[in-house]
Structure 1
Amino acid sequence: MRIVVALGGNALLHRGERPDAAVQQANIDRVATALAALAHEHELVITHGNGPQIGLLAMESEADPALSAPYPLDLLGAQTEGMIGSLLTRAMHDALPGHRIAALVTHTLVRTDDLAFERPTKFVGQVYSAPVAKALARKRGWHIARDTTGWRRVVASPAPERILETDTIHELLNSGTLVICAGGGGVPVTADRDTGALTGVEAVIDKDLTAALLAEDLKADFLLILTDVPYIYEGYGTSDQHPLLDATPRELRHGGFPSGSMGPKAEAAARFVEHTGGLAAIGALDAAYEIVHGRSGTLIRPDLTVG
């Protein structure tokens, strides 16, 4: 079975953790352990988030006195793809001796007229208190919004239209290679209408929506979205909170999940199932094997009453 795995940014750097290299290496070793059992039985493509990492690089770039202007988000996204891709490659190499593994810097085409550029929603970077966040917004021209535990920077998150390296990923898979790609949703680019020339854009694409598009293009059987909770919860944070064990795309879309957290994951799972008739699931990293085998997580299945 071909499985596209989407790792949440918090699977690599947990909320409140120091963004040290050693901390991220330890977390990625845990990722490799969780995915190795799946890789022995199935064909894997691994994608990952980069919200904490790109936020850190953006803050460092803003504060670097050697620069006349901070690095744009597309290039910072490419840096995180390389860094996280290298960490994942090394960890998966150790967990799967003799297995072919390749990390690919991936570019994702977006539309120049996407309304997301006018309404930033994608959280990046660390959590701040309200006074610190507002001060940074004034000083650096950031947009900020409230996250679950505080305030964070938000940036544009246009919809992914096409992954430019899909054919290369296909060839790698056909050669028996485990592929790590589309990190952070891919490097966002636009294409000139006349020449096709690519230009990077100031944005961070939602990695779950890119993973759903990738899974569709690769004709994957299963989209596995791994995060820091074991299920999708209805009534999350209320006295009526309870796990959702399975759902259809239509049921997910009526769930009212927050746009800054579970909403994009639910939408990505719904799109993949609707477009392909395959299965998707959302759950905790450490339960990856159990989720695929139906023993944990929230399963999203086709609505057999539609059509």
Structure 2
Amino acid sequence: MISHLRESFRQYCKEWSEVDLGKFNIFILKNILRHIFRTESIIPILVVVLVVAVSIQAQRASYIFIPQSSITAYATFLILQLAISLLVIFIYPFLIILLFNYLGYRLPHIIPRIFLPTKVILLLTTFYLCLRFLSHGKLTPDFELMVVATWTSLYFFLMNLYLAQKHGRDVFKTGKFRLILIFIFIAFMIKPFSMILYHTSEIINYMEINPLVFIDNTQCKMLSRKINTSVSDSNLSISNPDLVEHTANGCYLYGNIIRLGFASDYVIIFKKNLQPVTESGRHYNYYTRLNCYSGNCFSEDNIRLDVSNDINAKIIEKKVWYEG
């Protein structure tokens, strides 16, 4: 099996180095995009992608807040969130690939003579420069790397489909080599896709990071319980005047919080510790989730997350998708 895959990859690389990029573009437009955007195709595709998006977000966040009194607004938000994510993960790379192929097609005396690794470098450079242009250079290096890897795997997959069609084989028949390409694409896609979902949540104010929030005394008490006796007050956010200001009627929260929600339905995720809490040689962050529905609130206290897998802490520090 391994020798067969190795030989398939060699043949794939050889044919790619000799491919007609103009015909490749025609294939993408006629056989891929036209097929995807047909009504009978796009609806089930969108349903599947929506389910995948929600499941990815659920796995990454460990918590999804669905406002009970604003289902219509939440549904609209999900559609917008999904549309922006698909734009970055799928639509942008298709446009860039078409442009890259067109330029290669318009330089027929140069591109075919370029060594294949050089073509790959040119492709990666094109993806990277376009991503920098679209993001205004604000993305973190690891996020840029994941997006470029996702787009590149999509290019390899499309090339595989084109070569199959060129040899008269069924374009949509799934073989072993194609399954590997699909798996690579999905593996690279998961993190950028989930991060774009988070970023979309922030820019349309469904998710607010470290906003100034006032809560009453009852809600403030829900956030004030100690983690455990081993954690000193100096390591508690609730005791830090830069993060929490106590008043006679309640308290103002200035930091270490994520707020999700619409109107009167919202959740406040409050990071209780300033520095990671060490337990049995491992480092943890503790959270309280204050859930409020139409003015009625309840809390889930002392939720412990391993620092290495704590996406909430990265969001609070704004180190997930962009620099600054």
When the two structures are superposed, what TM-score results if normalisation uses the length of structure 1?
0.26
Greater percentage in strand: 1
RCO (CA 8 Å, sep 6+): is it higher in 1 or 2?
Answer: 1
Question: Structure 2-normalised TM-score?
Answer: 0.25
